[in-house]
Structure 1
């Protein structure tokens, strides 16, 4: 009888813990998933004393999953997250009565798949204009020279990868870079090449006279 006396309280304690209602839930620090892929969400259910509650017992409570921005990710009733496009949003698990809830960030990665460049037309007038500055210095420059900021398009547009872009002009007698600006030097056509994240793209740069 003595051994039974000690076994019964332990058994009752175990049954109480197994049958205790959920008082709190905890989600991961973050859910990370690649675009078009899925990821399961680990959930820790606890009772009022901080003891873990089994998923089977937790299922007796009605739970609702949601994401703040359903254009970035979606979640099904079992907590499986699907990445829709690159970006970040928030995942929330809440009891139906709204008394228990937990949230965590969702980060959807969208790898870089390629790059692209647009063709450029620059306008240039090779006539030199000379003037005298206030301190008497004679200066001159071309009458007109347009410039544009080169833009390398990262693909897809929602990519979360943003490696550095390097540019190269095939013939710097036609055009050159001044910082991030593409500047005409003389009339003609040359090729602009961009390298980014292991991808390469090219476009045509044409320099012509200004339109009348």
Structure 2
């Protein structure tokens, strides 16, 4: 039962020994407005509206010392994760963000770039973050240890948060749908309503989780400036 249950997250579908499930990560390219170079339309205005809102918010969080255009990489990260989360709700589309392979690769690469930049360019500023202001002298060694550990586990917490939320919703919907064959007609109708509500909830989770992981990455980036 467990093998069948978790097989929905197994990227084993292949053709000529090529794992084609991971190709779902580039399906989001289909949603990029091709009319960007042609005639503006409502979809393009909506796309630009969201990107501008994210840019203004990220710019405030990054502070005045941030580089010009530094928000664009986080906006791209938001759209990439959102598309992969949302498209995974469709039947027969592999949810790549439900695997630590992808989510940990994203979070770890961002975290390493922040750490290298911070320790090489603002080492004194990074040391001050290890000891919060007003800490008693006797607690300073413990605070340094705690802050160091919390800093090291950051990429793991980002990746696990995204992966766990994607897996939880998909597993719940799979478990409920697998029991439909044993229900009466009335209970099947109730089950369909519950599945629709869960699908709406998962759509909100797909957007919220992409926003959360992007905001946390921006906050971690602002600490090294």
Whether TM-score is above 0.5 comes out as no
State the TM bucket, normalised to the shorter chain.
under 0.3
Q: Normalising by structure 1, report the TM-score.
A: 0.17
Higher relative contact order (CA 8 A, sep 6+): 2
Higher strand share: 1
**In terms of Rg, which structure is larger?**
1
TM-score (norm 2): 0.17
